[in-house]
Amino acid sequence: YVVSFLLFFLGVHFEIFEGGIAFTYFPQLIASLNIFALVFCGLLYLKGAFFPSSTDSGLSGNPVFDYYWGTELYPRILGWDVKVFTNCRFGMTGWALLCTSFACAQYEKNGALSNSMLISALLQVIYLAKFHIWERGYMFTIDIMHDRAGYY
C-alpha cells in the first residue's frame, strides 16, 4: 500500500505521468479490467474444476453458478494466494489510488481541490490504510472464510 503510493507520487513528481491518469483513462481502465476479470474467473473456474488447491472445492453442476460463485475457497497458483491478491492487494490498493488520481485530476483541471473531493478522497484513503493495517483480521471475516473466489 505504502509502496504503491510512493511509486504513484514519484511518477507524478518526476512527470512520468499525470496524477489524474486514472481519471483520464477511466473508460479504458474499466473495459480492460472487466475483460481481464471475465477471462481470469474463467481460468479460476477451470483450475478449481480440474486442479483444486485443497479439498474445499467443487462444482455444483451448474457451470454459470460455479463461474459466478467460484469453485474454490482459497485458490492458489504456484503458492500465490489469488483471493488475498485480488481482494486486498489489487482491489483495495487500486481503490485508494483511484481516489487519489481522481483528486489529482480535479486539481490539474481546476487548480484547486474542492472541500468535498478532499474530504471524500482523504476519508477513503484513511479507511483503506486502516484495512491494510488490519488485513490479518480481514482474513477471519465471513466473506473471506465462506465465499469462494469467483466472479462474485
pLDDT at residue 56, rounded to an integer: 87
Q: What's the confidence (pLDDT) of residue 43?
A: 95
The pLDDT value given to residue 96: 98
Q: What is the pLDDT of residue 150?
A: 87
User: Alpha-carbon distance 8 to 10, whole Å?
Assistant: 5
pLDDT at residue 136, as a whole number: 85
Query: Which residues have a Cβ under 8 Å from the Cβ of 4 and sit 6 or more positions away?
Result: 93, 96, 97
* Structure confidence at residue 88 (pLDDT): 87
Where the chain has pLDDT below 50, the residues are none
**Cα 106–Cα 87–Cα 78 angle in degrees, nearest 5:** 130
Residue 84: the pLDDT is 86
